[in-house]
């Protein structure tokens, strides 16, 4: 199964003609999951190879405008790009994000008379008080749901921290389990861990034939992990006839942060194939970065090292850093310097570093 | 005094890489007034010659997302671009638009923790029930103000229709009077009339010298319209010594509409130097246009003719119409056909037609 990540915006604070505001898409076999949706994301989508109508789930790391202001417009445009077959009931678009997101969408879609042809549900993550300074926490008055729900709004869940695993279980299906974990920022922020399930190895068909088993339903039972008893009474165990399992891939995407919170982040991100981490400013501006709730390449590298990620991808760069393609000799703020800083911090770790750029697509290959 | 209009977005429904969503700027001597603010307006501003920090007033014609979704992000970026001199109190940014706009900004800025370094006030226009079908009207529940005001939100006015003039007086200062008028659309929509005051003509200085009056404070009194009595007892009337008054210019900008409502629009737009009117679809799609609350070039031309405008500017084109610069031989939807249709309808009227394009700047010259 193919899997890749496409960056639609890699700039911090606001969108510019050089860098879109935060947004990236994880794509697996035609389904697209959108992580963050800054203003202009729909236009960036149109410029990319991706199709807006394929977006089935949305994840919002935190409520800052540079990660959210594009969402109402994006939903409207997805709706315009969805073929409406009246015979067919359209799937619900699931939207995950911090408490307050449901009311944000209700008001923005409602007051603008925005019509959607599909239902949507907002599943809210309940932050804890140690994810931001006190002034960054929303009062109950602010997030209280008020006014009529949008005609397409379906009831959403409220997801609280599971203290034993220090994480939030967003959903699990046949292919994936997706969890969130806590980050520290000026306002509560989250990271997301997309874990593909391991898949059974291929059947050793030569061996099965030798054992006298012909292709048929019993093959399926073995592949599903069930033992099979032959007419002779001989029992075949799946482990005897299956090649090694194909390990699931793991992609972890962190929202804005100056640090992780609790044990959850490192446990969940352990061994990530791709760890996407912000690096808003260079190491030499660490104090300023931390003051604003952000990270430097060195700080991002420390997280990647602590969780033994295979690849660290940096994004969410200050707009002062032009994309490499527009960089001129002698420009002061050179984004490739951010890559060098992370590489310096990861010497001898074997962890590779990639700089994200708008429209960069990174494949997430199978491990073997 | 120089005066010009710059289009930042000329597309309908959503922003695309070819046409931004609705937004235009009226500029007079460094002050910028923004009319509508679709998603991506701040990026379009950065691409233009205009400066975000110069925006002092915002006018929203109606609450559809393609005219509004860019406003929260734009305010944040204007704030980042405003020099904060702690000695200086920053001017309040006045925002005018339909009922519901205040709550929209309160929620979008509030839930996202958006900080602004300047105060703002939202002055809401109270629509009448004949500006849209019933389903397009917002319930009191939807627009009820709820939740704490933004720390920078100042009290705004609620402006009701002045029945005698069939218009809404937004404000009047030394240079301008700005009024709004009613339009019919899927949701209540408004047009804006910016009327520059007439200015007194130049003093006939040769004549004044002959009369024995030397340059000084008396010149100012004459220019201000006051008569002056000489020592000889002779009275000089301003009309004797002033050249003809310089007539004020008038720019009228209409939001989305399939028709005007009441007497106000034609009275206010009478003799407009620039009449900016939407033309979403070509004449051959009139039924579809009207169904969606929109106009064709012929319909826009009829308004321009009825109010004897000097120049009709068409904008808000369906995204199917590519800009002229990207138009290829044989493309089906040719935007210049929209211009021809308006010109056909304006034959012998003397009214000129201009097609707006993103980043087009139109000067509004003095009349003589
Ligand atoms: Zn950010
Ligand atoms: Zn942030
Ligand atoms: Zn529109
Ligand atoms: Zn509209």
**CATH number of the domain to which A130 belongs:** 3.60.15.10
**Nearest CA to CA, how far is B100 from chain A (Å)?**
6
A212 and A278 inside one domain: no
The tokens 């001898």 sit on which residue? A348
Chain A residue numbers touching B66 (CB-CB < 8 A): 73
**Nearest CA to CA, how far is B70 from chain A (Å)?**
7
B298 and B231 inside one domain: no
Q: Which residues pair with B228 in a beta bridge?
A: B236
CB spacing of A104 vs B107 below 8 angstroms: yes
B224 and B298 inside one domain: no
B294 and B186 inside one domain: yes
Chain B residue numbers touching A14 (CB-CB < 8 A): 42, 73, 76-77, 80
The Cα A122–Cα A51 span in angstroms is 22
DSSP states of A184-227 as a string? Answer: ESSS-EEEEEEEEPPB---B-HHHHHHTTPPSSHHHHHHHTT--
Neighbours of ion ligand 3 (CB under 5 A): B 12, 66, 256
Range of the domain at B211: 205-241
Domain annotation covers residue A45? yes
Count: domains in chain B: 2
A186 and A209 inside one domain: no
Residues A128-172: tens digit of each pLDDT:
999 999 999 999 999 998 889 999 999 999 999 999 999 999 999
Dig out the tokens for B261 from the structure. 């409502």
Catalytic position from the list A36, A66, A256, A273: A66
Domain annotation covers residue A33? yes
Domain annotation covers residue B368? no
Nearest to B39 among A70, A142, A144 (CB): A70
A210 and A298 inside one domain: no
The Cα A232–Cα A34 span in angstroms is 53
Residues A6-38: tens digit of each pLDDT:
999 999 999 999 999 999 999 998 789 999 999
Please give the DSSP secondary-structure letter assigned to residue B117: S
CB spacing of A65 vs B143 below 8 angstroms: no
| Neighbouring residues of A233: CB distance < 8 A, sequence distance ≥ 6 | none
Separation of CA A281 from chain center: 22
Domain annotation covers residue B282? yes
Domain annotation covers residue A338? yes
A287 and A358 inside one domain: yes
Alpha carbon of A11 to ligand 4 centroid (Å): 30
Residue A320, pLDDT score: 94
Nearest to B17 among A15, A46, A143 (CB): A46
DSSP H helical ranges for chain A: 41-47, 65-68, 71-80, 101-111, 140-143, 205-210, 217-223, 238-241, 264-269, 286-291, 297-306, 335-345
A356 and A224 inside one domain: no
pLDDT value at A85 more than 80: no
Domain annotation covers residue A368? no
Nearest to A40 among B39, B80, B147 (CB): B39
Q: How many of the other CB atoms lie within 10 Å of CB of A48?
A: 16
Give the pLDDT band of residue A212 (cuts 50, 70, 90).
confident
Alpha carbon of A14 to ligand 1 centroid (Å): 8
Chain A and chain B share a number of CB contacts under 8 A equal to: 136
Q: Is B66 noted as a catalytic residue in this protein?
A: yes
A215 and A321 inside one domain: no
Mean pLDDT to the nearest integer, A87-102:
92
Mutate to test the interface with B, among A13, A14, A292 (most CBs of B within 10 A): A14
Domain annotation covers residue A299? yes
Dig out the tokens for B50 from the structure. 């205009």
Catalytic position from the list B66, B94, B166, B273: B66
CB spacing of B112 vs A72 below 8 angstroms: no
Mutate to test the interface with B, among A36, A73, A97, A132 (most CBs of B within 10 A): A73
A330 and A286 inside one domain: yes
Mutate to test the interface with B, among A69, A185, A320 (most CBs of B within 10 A): A69
Alpha carbon of A250 to ligand 1 centroid (Å): 23
Among residues of chain B, what percentage have pLDDT more than 70? 99
Contact A105, A116 (CB under 8 A): no
A188 and A209 inside one domain: no
Domain annotation covers residue A307? yes
A122 and A150 inside one domain: yes
Residue A368, pLDDT score: 64
Collect the ranges in chain B with pLDDT lower than 70.
86, 368
The Cα B81–Cα A298 span in angstroms is 29
pLDDT value at A355 more than 70: yes
Q: How many of the other CB atoms lie within 10 Å of CB of B231?
A: 6
- Burial of A333 by CB count in 10 Å (0-12 exposed, 13-18 middle, 19+ buried)? middle
Residue A230, pLDDT score: 85
């Amino acid at each position: 199964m193919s899997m890749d990540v496409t960056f639609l915006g890699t700039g911090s604070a606001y969108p510019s003609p050089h860098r879109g505001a935060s947004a990236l898409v994880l794509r697996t076999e035609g389904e697209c999951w959108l992580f963050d949706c800054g203003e202009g994301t729909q236009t960036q989508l149109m410029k990319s190879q991706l199709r807006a109508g394929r977006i089935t789930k949305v994840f919002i790391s935190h409520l800052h405008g540079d990660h959210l202001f594009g969402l109402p417009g994006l939903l409207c445009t997805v709706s315009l790009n969805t073929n409406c077959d009246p015979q067919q009931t359209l799937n619900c678009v699931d939207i995950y994000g911090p408490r307050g997101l449901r009311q944000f969408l209700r008001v923005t879609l409602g007051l603008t008379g925005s019509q959607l042809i599909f239902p949507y549900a907002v599943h809210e993550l309940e932050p804890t008080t140690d994810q931001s300074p006190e002034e960054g926490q929303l009062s109950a008055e602010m997030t209280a749901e008020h006014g009529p729900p949008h005609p397409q709004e379906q009831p959403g869940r409220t997801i609280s921290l599971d203290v034993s695993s220090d994480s939030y279980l967003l959903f699990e299906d046949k292919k994936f389990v997706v969890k969130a974990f806590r980050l520290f920022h000026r306002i509560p922020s989250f990271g997301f861990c997309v874990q593909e399930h391991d898949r059974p190895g291929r059947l050793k068909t030569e061996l099965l034939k030798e054992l006298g088993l012909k292709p048929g339903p019993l093959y399926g039972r073995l592949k599903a992990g069930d033992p099979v008893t032959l007419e002779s009474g001989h029992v075949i165990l799946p482990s005897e006839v299956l090649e090694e399992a194909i390990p699931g891939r793991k992609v972890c995407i962190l929202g804005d942060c100056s640090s992780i919170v609790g044990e959850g982040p490192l446990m969940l991100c352990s061994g990530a194939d791709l760890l996407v981490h912000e690096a808003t400013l260079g190491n030499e501006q660490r104090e300023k970065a931390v003051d604003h709730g952000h990270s430097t390449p060195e700080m991002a590298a420390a997280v990647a090292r602590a969780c033994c990620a295979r690849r660290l991808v940096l994004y969410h760069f200050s707009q002062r850093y032009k994309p490499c393609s527009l960089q001129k000799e002698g420009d002061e703020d050179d984004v490739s310097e951010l890559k060098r800083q992370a590489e310096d911090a990861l010497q001898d770790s074997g962890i590779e570093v990639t700089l994200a750029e708008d429209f960069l697509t990174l494949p997430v290959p199978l491990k073997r």
